[in-house]
Structure 1
């Protein structure tokens, strides 16, 4: 089986390859094609993968190309993990927003909208090439903003594109461990949009254990989200939010922490990854060792500003484990390719799952996965506070999709202005002007 990774020079690709190395079952991936527009990054990541594969019998063969069509022809799965504008674009997204005293995070608020406006046209073009050259392939999307981009690609690929994210599985695992339960046996009742969801129950052997956790402040604050939001707020919600909801519930504090930080997250990663790729290119060193050191630093500093704003302290050892998007991707590929039925939290079309949204709206919920794809499972209705956020953010995503399709500046302004974390239409216009000046790729927004 052949897997094509778009964004194959990306820093997280070795996570995916590491998961493939551990898969010895029949029908496993035997060939990996890395595609990227940057040959130097491709070479660096290929070196890391070669070191990972050393001594592993029948390791999947790896090839690299800058030709998209060559990468797609004959593939069985496409893993999309591109970053339009690269880390310089992310750093600019953060900088422009913070100058207007609004959040500049890459998937939430103004920064996420700017990123979406750059990414959706590219994602649509890629989806058209997949449909033309590999119509039977399944596309697994991890390109952010993941829900928005999955919905854009679904216009061409239908249900053969499925979005994944590691946040829900990581959150569910931490909650299970706080309860002393085996994460592998727990069913996580999770619902929302990508980076905008809530765990409303955690069932072990049919029994919902979340009320027991919510009643125990010490257990609640024993894991990262509990410390981030605080036991009192979690008990008020009766749920445990995805970590990204900290940007909504504690917006002023988050913006202030980002403005006071020495560097934004994007600027930090830009510097960090520049060092990694330079080191990985040196023939006298270990590219894999450089990658492992860089990854450890990356995980330790994740959401540092939010933790500082919440007084949550440093990340605990148990929080440093990757959420496991590579394991989600592998489980998804296994289920589809081998008809190994499983349940995963994925980004898929709503199809009536949430009454507040239309059928084509991409949501993030538990899904049954088999050879026919991912099918959202029935969930309880959203509480009103969640309905408000989910529908408001979905309206923003739809405005981004409309702007990207039409080139309409008015639709782009509407996307910014409708977001719950942008407090003025005038600010929305200023943000768009700032982003258009920073990103030549937004020149299409003229009408």
Structure 2
């Protein structure tokens, strides 16, 4: 990558997460010569975009960085000449997410924004938009890297790989959060850990964990089974059964609770939805108070309250990736990338989440080889669901949609798959033009 001034285009710039991204840029300004950050959003998000861009300008001014902050609704202007396009948008906003959570609950099915039918609905809305963005990148900045944080990140990344020529890497804050929690329970620095990640986005396992070269996998599993903190702010921490963890012999991610502890997680979701509202409805209140904070003309740094939003380590995951590509660091990161033989039972063109070497040439996954049957049954079933969902989203295909939900482990039977699908298509009709023809 040529040396010199960097331009970042942030699609979904009015997000409440953006101040963390700005902080990450400013922390790395010595090795990432960012000269322009162009935030883009849609007109309905005009007020949030203005608040975010004003706060970003104050943050830049506070540290005396020479960075121009732009904000507009003109996506093409932001993409033109960009070195990195960072996508972090939510089609339909939090109201659509609330529907994604509420619809499945009507049928006694997990209602979660990235996993199960909720993630399916989000993918249907998101994939056509991301492919539209890719067409702009292909035309206006064909050498740019697209770093996708938009959920469901694995599904979106695979759609991009299959239906565009854009250089793209998907990423998520779950692996880095797992690393931080394991380092906390082991009382060590994250840099002293070596974790072998393999699986799919929001379905990733740590196959092996080492601390300074010593295998600590069993010790970590014992600590997690004994109640050590091992969840995200947006996921209820249902205790793990220590016998199950020992039998699994791999460290599950927090989202595995939905698959391995479905009844308990569903009961908690229904109780929470009736009492406090779904996660999206709770986040709406958090966002409202965050944006009130952001409006303060004296605020010129990321407020601590942002950590309550649930996206911890977001800027570290994304900016460390920019750093690795720009500075050709050939360092290891956990990303969503084409399999290309890394997991030998999955197709080469499947996107997986795994440890990969990142340099200016892109991402090369570290081979995992044979995975245990403890893992592969669930892995393959969810991948089949993902592949069907991508085709359904791209082509507006009802039959593929029905089969996607029928293959999803969280949907118990066809009657509910069909009822949920029909509700999703009806409620999301304004965002699903591909199904209207």
**TM-score normalised by structure 2 residue count:** 0.91
Q: RMSD of aligned C-alpha atoms? A: 2.1
Pairing of 1:66-145 with structure 2 (within 5 A): 66-145=73-152
What residue number does 1:302 align with?
none
User: Is 1:154 matched with 2:161?
Assistant: yes
User: Is 1:269 matched with 2:283?
Assistant: yes
**Counterpart-to-counterpart distance in 2, 1:101 and 1:443:** 28
What residue number does 2:351 align with?
362
**Counterpart-to-counterpart distance in 1, 2:194 and 2:51:** 39
8 Å Cα contact 1:21/1:59 also seen in 2:
no
Query: What's the CA shift for 1:16?
Result: 0.8
What residue number does 1:165 align with?
172
What residue number does 2:409 align with?
420
Q: Runs of 4 or more off by more than 6 Å in structure 1?
A: none
What residue number does 2:267 align with?
256
> Which residue of the other structure, out of 220, 230, 248, is the alignment partner of 1:224?
230
> Which residue of the other structure, out of 328, 332, 338, is the alignment partner of 1:343?
332
**Counterpart-to-counterpart distance in 2, 1:275 and 1:170:** 24
What residue number does 1:387 align with?
376
**Counterpart-to-counterpart distance in 1, 2:338 and 2:318:** 18
What residue number does 2:306 align with?
295
Question: Any gaps of 5 or more consecutive residues in structure 1?
Answer: 300-321
> Which residue of the other structure, out of 8, 14, 36, is the alignment partner of 1:9?
14
8 Å Cα contact 2:238/2:264 also seen in 1:
no
Change (3 A) 1:228 1:31: farther
- How many pairs were matched up? 421
Query: What's the CA shift for 1:371?
Result: 1.3
Query: What's the CA shift for 1:26?
Result: 4.2
Change (3 A) 1:88 1:357: same
8 Å Cα contact 2:290/2:306 also seen in 1:
no
**Counterpart-to-counterpart distance in 1, 2:433 and 2:238:** 42
Question: Any gaps of 5 or more consecutive residues in structure 2?
Answer: 1-5, 232-236
Change (3 A) 1:26 1:420: closer
8 Å Cα contact 1:131/1:156 also seen in 2:
no
Task: Report the more deviating stretch, 63-72 or 224-233.
Answer: 224-233
Deviations 1:83-136 (A, max 9, x none): 011100000111111001101100000100011111111111111111111100
Deviations 1:274-319 (A, max 9, x none): 34435645xx655568x736424434xxxxxxxxxxxxxxxxxxxx
Deviations 1:217-250 (A, max 9, x none): 5885332259742433322211220000001111
**Counterpart-to-counterpart distance in 1, 2:36 and 2:95:** 31
What residue number does 2:50 align with?
43
8 Å Cα contact 1:198/1:242 also seen in 2:
yes
8 Å Cα contact 2:225/2:242 also seen in 1:
no
8 Å Cα contact 1:400/1:412 also seen in 2:
yes
**Counterpart-to-counterpart distance in 1, 2:156 and 2:389:** 10
Deviations 1:393-414 (A, max 9, x none): 1111111111122221111111
What residue number does 2:422 align with?
433
8 Å Cα contact 1:409/1:446 also seen in 2:
no
